[in-house]
Amino acid sequence: MTEAWHVDTVKMWSHRNRWTLALALLMAAAPAGAARPYRGGAVATAHPAASEAALKMLQKGGNAVDAAVAAATTLAVVGPYHSGLGGGGFALVHDAKTGGTRVLDFREVAPQAATRDMYVKDGKVVPGLSTDGALSVAVPGAVAGYLELVEKHGKLPRAVVLQPAIEAARAGFWVTPKYQAVAKLRRDCLRQDPEAARIFLARNEAGEPDVPPVGYLVKQPDLARTLSTLAKSGAAPFYTGAIGQAVVDTVKKGGGLLTREDLKAYKTRAQEPLEGSYRGHRLLTMPPPSAGGLAVLQVLGALEKLRPQGLTFRDAEEVHLYAEAVRRVYVDRTKYLGDPAFVKIPMERLTSQGYLADLAGSIDPKKATSSASLLPPVEGAGESTLQKPDGSWYDPSHAPADKKNTTHISVIDKDGNAVALTTTVNYGFGSCLVAKGTGVLLNDEMDDFSARPGVPNAYGLVGGEANAIAPGKVPLSSMAPTLVFSKEDPKKVILAVGSPGGSTIPTTVIQVISNVVDQGMDVTRAVGQGRLHHQYLPDELWVDQYALEPATLRLLEAKGHKLRHIPAWGDAEAVHSDPQTNLRSAASDPRNEGAALGQD
Active site residue ranges: 406
**Annotated binding-site residue? 448:** yes
Please state, in angstroms and as integers, the Cα–Cα distance from residue 516 to each residue in 418, 480, 497, 546, following that order: 18, 17, 11, 18
| CB atoms inside a 10 Å sphere around CB 279 | 17
Alpha carbons 87 and 174: distance in angstroms, whole number = 22
**Annotated binding-site residue? 502:** yes
**Annotated binding-site residue? 176:** no
**Annotated binding-site residue? 462:** no
Beta carbons of 541 and 395 less than 8 angstroms apart: no
Burial grade of 354 (CB within 10 A; 0-12, 13-18, 19 or more):
exposed
For residue 261, give the 3-state DSSP assignment.
helix
Alpha carbons 417 and 411: distance in angstroms, whole number = 8
Upstream peptide bond of 389 is cis (omega within 30 degrees of 0) = no
Give the contacts of 6 (CB within 8 A, at least 6 positions apart): 25, 28
Alpha carbons 249 and 498: distance in angstroms, whole number = 35
Q: Rounded to 5 degrees, what angle do the CA atoms 113, 117, 123 make?
A: 155
Q: Quick one: angle between helices 353-361 and 292-306, nearest 10?
A: 70
| Order of strands across the sheet that contains 42-45 | 269-271, 101-105, 88-94, 418-424, 406-412, 42-45, 595-598
**Annotated binding-site residue? 187:** no
Helix (H) / strand (E) containing 96: none
**Annotated binding-site residue? 477:** yes
For residue 238, give the 3-state DSSP assignment.
helix
Upstream peptide bond of 48 is cis (omega within 30 degrees of 0) = no
Measured in whole angstroms, how far is the alpha carbon of residue 177 from the centre of its chain?
19
**Annotated binding-site residue? 452:** no
SS (H, E, C) 296-358: HHHHHHHHHHHCCCCCCCCCHHHHHHHHHHHHHHHHHHHHHCCCCCCCCCCHHHHCCHHHHHH
The residue type found at 292 is G
CA dihedral (158, 150, 38, 422) positive or negative: negative
**Annotated binding-site residue? 424:** yes
Please state, in angstroms and as integers, the Cα–Cα distance from residue 426 to each residue in 14, 108, 131, 459, following that order: 34, 10, 9, 10
For residue 275, give the 3-state DSSP assignment.
strand
The residue type found at 44 is A
Binding-site positions read 107, 424-426, 448, 477-478, 502
Binding-site positions for L-glutamate read 107, 424-426, 448, 477-478, 502
